[in-house]
């Protein structure tokens, strides 16, 4: 007789652990592949999974086996042309008689030199942001519509039967029984000694009436003790759970970008990649992330994402306009007590000459004290100009929260990003 069992509903991810073990072991390889992929990828699929290739040689499991050489014989099927005694020239590469008859040779690799596999989006991001940390604490805040967590909060006299705490209930029942019966038990004890004394007397001296009276009194007391209920309603104790709101962390990210004539589409593209990386990173660290896009030439404007990245404007550049706008938006919409503020600014370094000092002043006095972190990237292969120099003084004042880097090429973005958010040991 056979048993037939439907196992389809059982867990199907038995191999997950082993898969993770594998990823763990080849961490370095995967990280390298991920960082290459970040440089290569288009912006839209920055957060997809990735195909990872590892050289088969690196992951092979060595076994002892025969090498080439010596005298090896092998039986092959499908003879179509040979008779015994024929000589065949040895095929180049020595593939001919090797393997000593081991059907499917050592690896299932089918001659591939790369072991290729897929990692998921989640894993991709894990690897991408590994050992990066958001600098400078996280503000947590109760905002009206939080989630709640229930925690134990002692015991209560009221509750549902499902929450009865048996130990507590029985303990209090026990205490009640002791309390309610102690005087009676004391009386019983007294009466019993009296009864004993009475019974020890000589037969002539015994008073049968007294004995009877004592016995019946003891009996009635015992009955009264018996009538004390073993468990009463008010003995029952219930586990009490209380709800606590869970504070949420929220972050707002300001993306500031120069869209003046000097910024080409390629430069903007690089800026965008940087912003997206930052956005993904913030998303992983905060439950709620908002993004404010501010673009500027001579004047600044808050725009939506589409416009931010794709519309073109021309004209001169006044960077401070964007900083003013950021400051205003910040004080209007994002109270500092609730929000973690991050700023990211991208520019090619061009600015109206007198404006750069205004910028650094604005940053130092108004913006830097309010933000968690501010990063500035300059996308230019050229020499730095006034803006960079002014910002360097900001960086000196706020060495913890202000960071600036230069990007020349698309492939710089990820390394620069990593450098900016490198986990620092305090």
Partner 1 sequence: MSKQKPISTSSEWTFELIQTYDKEISDIAKEFKLDTYPNQIEVISSEQMMDAYASAGMPIGYSHWSYGKQFLNIERSYSRGQMGLAYEIVINSSPCIAYLMEENTMTMQALVIAHACYGHNSFFKGNYLFRAWTDAESIIDYLVFAKNYIAKCEERYGISEVEKIVDSCHALMNYGVDRYQRPYPISNAEEEARQKEREEYLQRQVNDLWRTIPKGESHDDSAEKPKFPSEPQENLLYFFEKNAPLLESWQREIIRIVRKISQYFYPQRQTQVMNEGWATFWHYTLLNTLYDRGKLSDGFMMEFLQSHTSVIYQPPYNSPYFSGINPYTLGFSIFCDIRRMCEHPTDEDREWFPDIAGKDWLETLHFAMQNFKDESFILQYLSPKVIRDLKLFNIMDDNLEEEILVSAIHDQSGYQSIREALAGQYNLGNREPNIQVTSVNVRGDRSLTLEHVRYNRVPLGDSTEEVLRHVHRLWGFDVHLHSTDNGVLCETYHCPPKPEHTELN
- Binding pattern to partner 1, positions 32-61, x when CB under 8 A? ---------------------------xxx
The interface region with partner 1, picked from 91-99, 248-256, 279-287, 291-299 by CB under 8 A, is 91-99
Least distance between partner 1 and beta carbon 91 (Å): 8
Is 15 one of the binding residues for partner 1 (CB under 8 A)? yes
Nearer to partner 1, 99 or 135 (CB): 99
Nearer to partner 1, 59 or 329 (CB): 59
Is 75 one of the binding residues for partner 1 (CB under 8 A)? yes
Name residues whose C-beta falls within 8 Å of residue 25's C-beta, 6 or more positions apart in sequence. Answer: none
**Candidate residues 27, 40, 48, 74; the one interacting with partner 1 per rule CB under 8 A:** 74
Task: Give the CA dihedral 204, 208, 214, 215, nearest 10 degrees.
Answer: 120
What sections of 297-399 are H helices per DSSP? 305-310, 319-333, 355-362, 386-397
**Candidate residues 43, 55, 58, 82; the one interacting with partner 1 per rule CB under 8 A:** 82
Least distance between partner 1 and beta carbon 122 (Å): 16
Tokens of 81: 């042309």
Is 25 one of the binding residues for partner 1 (CB under 8 A)? yes
Q: For the segment 293-332, give every residue that binds partner 1 (CB under 8 A).
A: none
Is 64 one of the binding residues for partner 1 (CB under 8 A)? yes
Is 161 one of the binding residues for partner 1 (CB under 8 A)? no
Calculate the alpha carbon distances from 141 to 335, 336, 370 in Å.
11, 10, 16
Centre a 10 Å sphere on the Cβ of residue 338 and count the other Cβ atoms it contains.
Answer: 15
Least distance between partner 1 and beta carbon 64 (Å): 5
Is 2 one of the binding residues for partner 1 (CB under 8 A)? yes
Comparing C-alpha atoms, which of 263, 379, 387, 361 is closest to residue 313?
263
Contact 48, 114 (CB under 8 A): no
Is 19 one of the binding residues for partner 1 (CB under 8 A)? yes
Q: How far apart are CA 402 and CA 391, in angstroms?
A: 9
Q: How far apart are CA 69 and CA 356, in angstroms?
A: 75
**Candidate residues 42, 44, 78, 160; the one interacting with partner 1 per rule CB under 8 A:** 78
The interface region with partner 1, picked from 20-28, 186-194, 349-357, 382-390 by CB under 8 A, is 20-28
Q: For the segment 224-263, give every residue that binds partner 1 (CB under 8 A).
A: none
- Dihedral sign of CA atoms 134, 138, 142, 147 in order: positive
3-class DSSP state of 403: strand
Least distance between partner 1 and beta carbon 133 (Å): 24
3-class DSSP state of 77: coil
Q: How far apart are CA 310 and CA 319, in angstroms?
A: 19
Contact 340, 251 (CB under 8 A): yes
Least distance between partner 1 and beta carbon 29 (Å): 12
Q: How far apart are CA 213 and CA 217, in angstroms?
A: 6
- Binding pattern to partner 1, positions 106-145, x when CB under 8 A? --x------xxxx---------------------------
Positions touching partner 1 (CB under 8 A) are 1-8, 10, 12-15, 17-25, 59-80, 82-90, 96-104, 108, 115-118
């Amino acid at each position: 007789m056979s048993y037939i069992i439907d196992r389809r509903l059982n867990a199907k991810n038995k191999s997950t652990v082993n898969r993770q073990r594998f990823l763990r072991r080849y961490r370095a390889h995967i990280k390298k592949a991920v960082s290459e992929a970040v440089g290569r990828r288009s912006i839209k699929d920055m957060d997809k999974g990735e195909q990872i290739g590892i050289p088969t040689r690196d992951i092979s499991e060595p076994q002892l086996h025969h090498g080439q050489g010596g005298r090896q014989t092998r039986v092959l099927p499908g003879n179509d042309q040979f008779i015994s005694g024929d000589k065949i020239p040895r095929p180049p590469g020595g593939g001919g008689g090797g393997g000593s008859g081991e059907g499917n040779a050592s690896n299932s690799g089918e001659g591939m030199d790369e072991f290729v596999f897929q990692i998921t989006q989640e894993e991709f991001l894990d690897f991408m942001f590994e050992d990066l940390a958001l600098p400078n604490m996280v503000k947590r805040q109760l905002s009206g519509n939080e989630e709640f967590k229930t925690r134990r909060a002692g015991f209560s006299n009221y509750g549902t039967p499902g929450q009865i705490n048996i130990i507590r209930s029985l303990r209090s029942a026990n205490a009640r029984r002791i309390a309610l019966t102690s005087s009676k038990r004391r009386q019983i004890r007294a009466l019993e000694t009296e009864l004993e004394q009475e019974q020890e007397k000589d037969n002539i001296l015994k008073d049968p009436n007294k004995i009877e009276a004592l016995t019946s009194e003891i009996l009635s007391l015992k009955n009264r003790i018996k009538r004390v209920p073993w468990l009463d309603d008010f003995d029952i104790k219930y586990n009490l759970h209380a709800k606590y709101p869970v504070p949420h962390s929220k972050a707002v990210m300001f993306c500031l970008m120069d869209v003046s004539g000097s910024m080409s589409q390629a430069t903007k593209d690089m800026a965008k990649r940087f912003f997206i990386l930052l956005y993904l990173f913030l998303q992983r660290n905060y439950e709620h992330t908002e993004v404010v896009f501010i673009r500027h030439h001579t004047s600044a404007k808050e725009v939506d994402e589409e416009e931010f990245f794709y519309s073109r404007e021309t004209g001169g550049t006044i960077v401070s306009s964007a900083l003013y706008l950021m400051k205003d938006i910040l004080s209007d919409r994002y109270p500092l007590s609730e929000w973690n503020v991050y700023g990211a600014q991208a520019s090619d370094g061009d600015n109206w000459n007198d404006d750069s000092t205004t910028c650094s002043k604005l940053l130092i006095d108004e913006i830097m004290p309010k933000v968690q972190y501010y990063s500035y990237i300059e996308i230019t292969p050229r020499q730095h100009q006034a803006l960079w120099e002014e910002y360097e003084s900001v960086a000196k004042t706020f060495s913890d929260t202000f960071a600036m880097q230069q990007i020349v090429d698309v492939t710089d973005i990820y390394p620069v990003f990593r450098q900016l958010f490198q986990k620092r040991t305090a």
